[in-house]
Amino acid sequence: MRIGINFHTSDKYISGVEYYSLGLLKGLLHIDKRNDYVVYTNQPDLVREHVSSFENLTISGIGHPKTRLARILWEHTQLPGLAVKEKLDVLHCLSYICPIRKSSVPYVVTVHDTIAIDHPRWCKPTNALYFNLSMGAAIRKASRVISVSECTADDLKRNFQQCCSKLRVIYPGVDGIFNANADFSHQDEVRRRYGLPDRYVLFVGNIEPKKNIGTLLRVVAKLREQGLTHKLVLTGKRTWRSGSELDGIYKEAASGNVVLAGYVARNDLPPVYQMADVFVFLSLYEGFGFPPLEAMACGTPVVSSSRGALKETIGNSAIVVDPLDVDEITQAVISMATNTPLREKYVRLGLKKSRFFDWDKSAGQMLSVYEEVYRTNG
């Protein structure tokens, strides 16, 4: 088969959906030497940075769709014809939407969540408008729809009943760089580079409304009232409507209680996780949720929100809390930071849970979907 992969991103400061795309591509190339892969991307250098060269991989740099509008227009008007011209057998669109223009090449589309449909206040108005207008049509056009969790699958079935027969749940993997093998010299270097304190509670993720940073700041204040002197380290890029969140962050940072580390390079993230005493993730909704599993893979105990897919993906491997209950979260963090047997229990459970999410396994399941689509449409 000739398999097309559609991967675009606005800049090099990537996060969950983009790391999903690159992780899946690496997994496919690792397990599959028979089929050819053609990646259509506006960031060819980024793909080359993260994905090794393979004989069966062609990276097709698309120079013009740099803006979001240009990319959307290109995907819906140019990509279908290009797929036919390249004699693709399957085209996989990795980010919510596939072309609504009909093509002889069958589409597979990955939908990561339904936030734009169910919780539009947590995403950009332009995203909410575009996905509300396009997601239903894309699902109708797709031969298969991939969900990254049972939670997202349930949300899709509730919103788009026509997708039930074509829906497949394939969990993503956790990147192998996230592990508990400490490199102490790298840890020291990373601590200096990002100004990390000796003892800290960690958050990793974009600074945006659904991440619920305000509640986390209130928890930090409570922790200090109760004698836990750990600082909070926040990592991630600033995104839509981060201004109100940043006002509180800057205030706490000025008092010395919060370190705003900014966007952390991928290779520096493992030591950032490893050196944290507790990882806290209070998101109000996730379609999957990479950071808690990455923390677990690095041997760091996790306190996590119960919302969205997090309870499904994390299970009993973390202390799961109501993300709006400051007192409950505070007690969970104190217990995890000070109760050694409890901490060791969740470290063990977390390491075991994180190993369940494997990119080679994900890639094998995805390849089966491609083969199914090829047989059905061939």
Do 324 and 212 fall into the same domain?
Answer: yes
What are residue 263's phi and psi, to 5 degrees? Answer: -75, 125
Categorize the per-residue pLDDT at 329 as very low, low, confident or very high, splitting at 50, 70 and 90. Answer: very high
Report CA-CA distances (Å) from 335 to 223, 320, 326, 375: 11, 13, 14, 54
113 assigned to some structural domain = yes
- Token pair for residue 329? 């979260």
The whole-number pLDDT of residue 239 equals 67
State which residues form the domain around 77: 2-173+358-377
Does 133 share its domain with 197?
no
Position 162 confidence tier, pLDDT thresholds 50, 70, 90: confident
Supply the pLDDT for residue 253. Answer: 62
Query: Could you give the CA distance from residue 339 to residue 53 in angstroms, rounded to a whole number?
Result: 47
CA–CA gap between residue 273 and residue 265 (Å, rounded): 13
- Predicted local distance difference test score (pLDDT) of residue 245: 64
- Does pLDDT of 210 surpass 80? yes
Residues 206 and 157 in one domain: no
Residue 19 burial (10 A CB sphere; 0-12, 13-18, 19+): middle
Q: Is residue 111 a part of any domain in this protein? A: yes
Angstrom distance (rounded) from CA 213 to CA 203: 9
Instruction: Judge if 246 and 290 occupy the same domain.
Output: yes
Torsion of CA 144, 95, 234, 313, to 10 degrees: 0
H-run or E-run covering 25: helix 16-31
- For residues 112 and 16, membership in a common domain is answered with yes
Residues 266 and 165 in one domain: no
| Cβ neighbours around 189 below 10 Å, total | 13
Instruction: Tell me: do 154 and 78 sit in the same domain.
Output: yes
| 3-state SS, residue 276 | coil
178 within domain boundaries: no
Is residue 273 within 8 A of residue 279, CB to CB? The reply is yes
Residues 131 and 257 in one domain: no
- Helix-strand-coil percent breakdown of the chain, rounded to 5? 50, 15, 35
- Express each pLDDT in 108-157 by its tens digit: 999 999 999 999 988 888 889 999 999 999 999 999 999 999 999 999 99
Same domain, 283 and 150: no
DSSP summary character for residue 200: E
Instruction: Indicate whether 324 belongs to any domain.
Output: yes
Give the type of residue at 6.
N
The pLDDT confidence band at residue 284, using thresholds 50, 70 and 90, is: very high
Q: How far apart are CA 181 and CA 110, in angstroms?
A: 32
Cβ distance 101 to 80 under 8 Å? yes
Residue 322 has pLDDT above 90, yes or no: yes
Average pLDDT on 200-217 reads: 92
Distance from C-alpha of 338 to C-alpha of 228, rounded to nearest angstrom: 9
DSSP state letter for 236? S
Phi-psi region of 141 (alpha: psi -120 to 50; beta: other; left: phi over 0): alpha
Contact 259, 197 (CB under 8 A): yes
Spatial neighbors of 340 by CB under 8 A, at least 6 apart, are none
Query: What are the pLDDT digits (tens) for 293-319?
Result: 999 999 999 999 999 999 999 999 999
**Partners of 234 in beta bridges:** 203, 260
Phi then psi for 321, rounded to 5 degrees? -130, 160
197/290 same-domain check? yes
Which residue bears the tokens 């009909």?
A: 102
Give me the mean pLDDT over the 254-260 stretch.
Answer: 80
- Answer yes or no: do 151 and 234 share one domain: no
232 and 246 both lie in a single domain: yes
Q: How many domains would you assign to the chain?
A: 2
Phi, psi at residue 120, to the nearest 5°? Answer: -60, -20
Q: Is residue 47 part of a domain?
A: yes
13 domain-assigned: yes
Whole-angstrom distance, CA of residue 291 vs CA of residue 276: 13
Contact 288, 149 (CB under 8 A): yes
Average pLDDT over residues 184-206: 95
Domain at 281, CATH number: 3.40.50.2000
The tens digit of pLDDT for each residue in 21-76 reads 999 999 999 999 999 999 999 888 888 988 888 889 999 887 765 677 888 888 99
In a domain, 179, yes or no: no
Helix axes of 16-31 and 290-297: crossing angle, nearest 10 degrees = 60
Residue 108 inside a domain? The answer is yes
